[in-house]
Amino acid sequence: MNNIKQFKLKENLECIRFLDSKKEKFELEFNLEKGTSYNTFFSIEDDCLIIIHPPETNNFDSFLKITNTYIEEFIPKKINIITGHINPKIVETIKKIKNYFNNLCLTSSVPGKKLICELWEQKKPGDKDNLKVSLPEIHVIKKEVILEFRNNIFQLIPAPTARWPGGLIVLEKNAGYLFSEKLFSCHIASEDWSENNRLSTESDRKHFYNCLMAPMSSQITSLTEKVSDFDIKYIAPLHGPAIEYSLKSFLNDYIRWGENLSINRPKVALIYASAYGNTASIGDALAKGITSTSVEVESINCEFSSNDDLIQTIKQSDGYLLGSPTLGGHAPTPIVSALGSILSEGDREKPIGIFGSFGWSGEAIDMLESKLKDGGFTFSFNPIRVKFSPNKPKIKEIEEIGTHFGRNILKKSKYKNRRSDTGMISSKTNPTFQALGRIVGSLCVLTASKGEGENNVRSAMLASWVSQASFSPPGLSISVAKDRAVESLLQIGDVFALNILSSNNLKEPMKRFAKPFAPGEDRFSGLETEKTPNGQIIITDSLAWLDASVKERMECGDHWVIYAEVNYGNVLNKDDLTAVHHRKSGSNY
């Protein structure tokens, strides 16, 4: 259910926040079930209504109702829309505004204009209505410019990235508001203008970064370093509450997150084009899975990248991913060109995968598969074909495909997934690691279920790094490797079950959960289970079970340490003892 909040930032500058408790499309897979929000800003200056970051079409009527209350008092001679984040829903909003107000001017970057022109006449498969209005005047920003008005001075800064090539950041210089678009965003349906304190949204913004920014870390780091030099009092991103506390610390964290991703690691080139955002969404999920294995991803939107940059990335990469939509039965021309570059410059010994979305058919994926096979490449996974947009279980499966792809890269490279920060050789004979291995833990199966109906996602893992952490409230800690599929279901607020295994009944659960699962494989097929009061999965052969809610997460090297408070629990077999994991070395499980 949508809700609207309105904030007056200063004289003649306001924010309309559209709140949505359920994210329906695009970044669906990265929603932490906290909802999301979309921030639009507007100002009435002299004879002009200025709109920064226009809302998507589903919020147009609400936006029009609010702005009309101002327009009734003052009829603008001109409307100027400043936009860098561009997708079909935003273009549809621009069309509707143009239909109401003929004297409309758009302000965008060079890639932004290209995207607007491409989407203006496009009709998405399945759409019955396609508003026919003429393309408005587009004022192109090629470099930083200043738009000076009586009450506001706007500095416009082109901020292109692979995922959002039209990026355009706006700084209101008088009061220090930075309207940062996707940069620094998070998915929270917050009714407060800004976060309560520096740490209140840190995990959400880090999650957003890991999911969407990590594949472009070098670009994001450069943009963050650039805006760090501005005189900023508030950061107001496209999604989530504003940031006004400890801004320097926050920006330094953003830079550090990027630097940590690019230190002497193998790299995958993620090359794609995306008409409606669906193919890019598949690429995002693949990238999230890959980066969980400590493999770097370099994301390249081949519609906005030079051939020289593309070839250089191909030569420097340890694996390749190529994604394409199908438009009119064909792949876009930039994808055909990128395919030629991979065929001419790519290493046949390196892993490769292809993916894409389509409306009625998927000829582009078929063409890529055929050409690459004929060119001597071997696929690491079957081509990913998604009709329209992927749902949550499909996204989870794609993320797991990415994890397997990253592990494959590590096996073929000289890099190791887990290395001691102390520089010690992690061998079986090292006395320090032998001593570390003497720490024992209960053998358990962690199970997690999230979402309802067709969007239900379930996963599980064998766990032994488990310990009680508190008496009051009753709590436990558990360590989860970053590349575990279940890790993304263990965010703050999520619920899981811990099934404590019996020393006399280990054979079946060990056989099932100690082996790696194929992407999308049902962990519980044929297994007798029940549910906790919170709907989490109980393995009925367990010694005991606990239902717990994640309260804190701490990043520890190649693992996350999860602290959870226990909600419910029960002992199923009082006569048996807890299974314990004995190791000889602390360098592996």
At 353, which CATH number? 3.40.50.360
Q: What angle do CA 285, 287, 290 make, to 5 degrees?
A: 115
In the numeric block, the tokens 């989530």 are attached to 240
Residues 452 and 312 in one domain: no
The single-letter code of the amino acid at 554 is M
Q: Which residues form the domain of 546?
A: 431-581
How many Cβ atoms from other residues are within 10 Å of residue 511's Cβ? 9
CATH number of the domain bearing residue 195: 3.60.15.10
Q: Which residue has the tokens 């010994």?
A: 349
Model pLDDT for residues 435-481, shown as the tens digit of each residue: 988 888 899 999 999 988 888 999 999 999 999 999 999 999 999 99
Q: How many Cα atoms within 13 Å fall on the side-chain side of residue 95?
A: 21
Residue 586 lies in a domain: no
Please identify, among 222, 249, 276, the residue that sits at the C-terminal boundary of a domain. 249
Q: Which residue has the tokens 């589903």?
A: 58
Task: Give the pLDDT of residue 44.
Answer: 86
Res 460: pLDDT: 96
DSSP secondary structure string for all residues of 110-136: HHHHHHHHHHHS---TT-------PPP
Q: What is the pLDDT of residue 196?
A: 80
Give the C-alpha separation, 63 to 81, whole Å.
13
101 in Cβ contact with 79 (< 8 Å): yes
For residue 130, the model assigns a pLDDT of 63
Please check whether residue 589 lies inside any domain of the structure.
no
Same domain assignment for residues 326 and 225: no
pLDDT per residue as tens digits for the range 378-419:
999 999 999 988 888 899 999 999 999 999 998 887 554 444
For residues 167 and 222, is the Cβ–Cβ distance under 8 A?
A: no
Burial letters 296-307, b for 16+ CB under 10 A, else e: bbbbbbbbbbee
What is this structure's pTM?
A: 0.85
Q: Is residue 529 located within the same domain as residue 385? A: no
Nearest C-alpha neighbor of 88 from the set 61, 112, 56: 56
Q: Are 31 and 120 members of one domain?
A: yes
Domain annotation covers residue 373: yes
Amino acid at 556: C
Give CA–CA dist 424/432, Å, rounded. Answer: 9
What are the residues facing 13 on neighbouring strands?
Answer: 10
Calpha distance 421→413 (Å, rounded)? 20
Domain-embedded: residue 256: no
Statement to judge: residues 272 and 219 lie in one domain = no
Which residues are registered as beta bridge partners of 147? 154
SS3 of residue 329 by DSSP? coil
Strands lying side by side in the sheet with 13-20: 2-10, 13-20, 36-45, 48-52, 78-82, 104-109, 137-141
pLDDT digits (tens, 9 = 90+) for 175-204: 999 999 999 999 988 899 998 877 778 888
Residue 211 lies in a domain: yes
113 and 82 within one domain: yes
Query: Does 395 map to a domain?
Result: yes
Question: Is there a single domain that holds both residue 74 and residue 108?
Answer: yes
Please name which of 327, 216, 198, 299 lies closest in space to residue 252, comparing C-alpha atoms: 198
Residue ending a domain, among 220, 249, 278, is 249
Task: Say yes or no: 193 and 64 in one domain.
Answer: yes
CB 215 within 8 A of CB 291: yes
Are 367 and 440 contained in the same domain?
no
> Do 175 and 51 fall into the same domain?
yes
Of 217, 249, 281, the residue at which a domain comes to its end is 249
Q: Output the 3-class SS for 216-269.
A: HHHHHHHHHHHHCCCCCCEEECCCCCEECCCHHHHHHHHHHHHHHCCCCCCEEE
Contacts of 526 (CB under 8 A, 6+ apart): none
Residues 576, 519, single domain; the answer is yes
- Helices 88-100 and 60-71 cross at an angle (nearest 10°) of 40
Please write down the HEC assignment for all residues of 403-458: HHHHHHHHHHCCCCCCCCCCCCCCCCCCHHHHHHCCCCEECEEEEEEECCHHHCEE
CATH of the domain at 498: 2.30.110.10
Q: Is there a single domain that holds both residue 461 and residue 540?
A: yes
CA dihedral angle for residue 447, residue 451, residue 454, residue 458, rounded to 10 degrees? -10
DSSP H/E element including 298? strand 296-301
| Residue in the block written with tokens 């007056």 | 8
Tell me whether residue 112 is exposed, middle or buried, using C-beta atoms within 10 angstroms of its C-beta: 0 to 12, 13 to 18, 19 or more.
buried
- For residue 166, being part of any structural domain is answered with yes
Per residue of the chain (589 residues), give pLDDT as tens: 468 999 999 988 999 999 987 664 445 455 567 788 999 999 988 788 899 999 999 999 999 888 887 766 666 678 999 999 999 999 999 999 988 887 899 999 999 999 999 899 876 555 555 668 889 999 999 999 999 988 899 999 999 999 999 999 999 999 999 999 999 999 988 899 998 877 778 888 988 998 889 999 999 999 999 999 999 999 999 999 999 988 999 999 999 988 877 666 899 999 999 878 889 999 999 999 999 998 999 999 999 999 999 999 999 999 999 999 998 889 999 999 999 999 999 999 999 999 999 888 889 999 999 999 999 999 999 999 999 888 888 999 999 999 999 999 988 875 544 444 444 455 667 888 889 888 888 999 999 999 888 889 999 999 999 999 999 999 999 999 999 999 999 999 999 999 999 999 888 888 899 888 899 999 999 899 999 999 999 999 999 999 999 999 998 988 999 999 999 999 999 989 999 988 888 878 8
Q: Coil, strand or helix: which one is 82?
A: strand
Measuring CA to CA, which residue among 266, 257, 337, 264 is closest to residue 300? 337
**Residue 321 domain-assigned (yes or no):** yes
pLDDT number for residue 26: 45
Domain count, the chain: 3
Q: What is the largest CA-CA distance in the chain?
A: 82
Burial tier of 376 (Cβ tally within 10 Å: 0-12, 13-18, 19+): exposed
